[in-house]
Amino acid sequence: MIRIVYFPKIGVPQFNLPFTSLRSALADPEGLVWVDMVEPDADEINRVLVNQFHFHPLAVEDCQSDGYQTPKLDDYGDYLFLIIQSVIGEGSFEDEPTRELNIFLGKNYLVSSSLKKITAVEIFRKRLEKDERLYQNGSDFLCHALLDRVVDDFIPHLDQLEEEIDYLEEAVLSNPDPKTLERILRLKRYTMTLRRVIAPQREVINRLCRDDFPMIDPYSRMYFRDIYDHLVRIYDLLDGIRDMTTSALEVYLNATSLRLNEVMKALTIVSTIFLPLSFVAGVYGMNFHYMPELEWRWGYPMVWLIFILIVAGMLTFFRKRRWF
């Protein structure tokens, strides 16, 4: 699906510009065009990226790749090509946390492409209809506003991660079962995946606010720097969540080890008590004819008295040593 928005210098924005009018809109040097491609097929990619804008084949190939790609920025002279990862923020923590957003930034246009629908882009499109400040300062500021929306979506998602780890910490202390361990390991892996996304994405934004690109006005660089600060904060939060998951994992292992020690202690006490009883029972179970107690009237009660005294004596000894 191809959606085209045209912001003329003077006049009303056109949020559903026909594709046939795209060339004339791009010819307006004072206007601004945003082409948003959502789940495009090969024909749409060829019509827009190749025939209309004549983008580099390597950039077009990256837009068609459905595997994970590390965030990056390529400078092609007349335009910039960015690969950005947007957090999904829905579903379980077993799924892939992000979706790829490809952005072409030119002097008077912005082209975005994603093989799957991205919530942040949809929200940004609705916001454009209400806030004219987003497109009055050129394509670089429009790109900043889109990236800012994408980055801001990470914050509530991190709040969900913190809530999940808080729940897991309580579960570890109350009932450290194997399912809790599985959730901890899944959350730890999920957090590490997000960190691998944020680290290169932070460097991409850092280049936008530091390097000298002709399509980015110096006035807009401070806004990109604000996005960079947000990514630094997100990366620090992910570090904290990673440490919390590591701590929860250590608590789980310690808790299970403590429970195992308690079980082993109980079994050891029982085994230790029955060892002398087995010895006494074994002695009086020997079939010798001349054993003194075999024909004694009180022999059987005496053996039980010995059993009871041994058990009581060993339990008293264990309690004094605080073994239970």
Q: Among 255, 271, 289, identify where a domain stops.
A: 255
Q: Among 255, 278, 293, identify where a domain stops.
A: 255
Instruction: Quickly state the pLDDT bin for 94 (edges 50, 70, 90).
Output: low
Which residue range is the domain that position 46 belongs to? 2-255
Q: Give yes or no: residues 140 and 181 share one domain.
A: yes
CATH of the domain at 269: 1.20.58.340
135 versus 242: the higher-pLDDT residue is 242
The whole-number pLDDT of residue 82 equals 92
Q: Give yes or no: residues 207 and 229 share one domain.
A: yes
Those residues whose C-beta lies under 8 Å from the C-beta of residue 102, and which sit 6 or more positions away, are 59, 62, 63, 81, 82, 83, 84, 112, 113, 114
How many structural domains comprise the chain? Answer: 2
Mean per-residue pLDDT of the chain: 81
177 versus 323: the higher-pLDDT residue is 177
62-72: pLDDT as tens digits: 888 877 788 88
Q: Give yes or no: residues 132 and 251 share one domain.
A: yes
Q: Give yes or no: residues 251 and 266 share one domain.
A: no
Q: Give yes or no: residues 43 and 114 share one domain.
A: yes
Whether pLDDT at 324 is above 70? no
1 and 38 in contact (C-beta within 8 Å)? yes
- Which residue is associated with the tokens 């005294």? 309
Q: Give yes or no: residues 195 and 232 share one domain.
A: yes
Q: Among 201, 227, 255, identify where a domain stops.
A: 255
Q: Give yes or no: residues 190 and 64 share one domain.
A: yes
Q: Give yes or no: residues 159 and 46 share one domain.
A: yes
Q: Give yes or no: residues 186 and 291 share one domain.
A: no
- What 3-state class would DSSP assign to 279? helix
Q: Work out the average pLDDT over 81-110.
A: 81
244-302: pLDDT as tens digits: 888 888 777 777 776 777 777 777 777 877 788 787 777 667 665 666 766 777 777 77
77 versus 90: the higher-pLDDT residue is 77
Q: Which of 72-76, 78-82, 93-97, 152-156 has the lowest mean pLDDT?
A: 93-97
CATH of the domain at 32: 3.30.460.20
54: Cα within 13 Å, side-chain hemisphere? 2
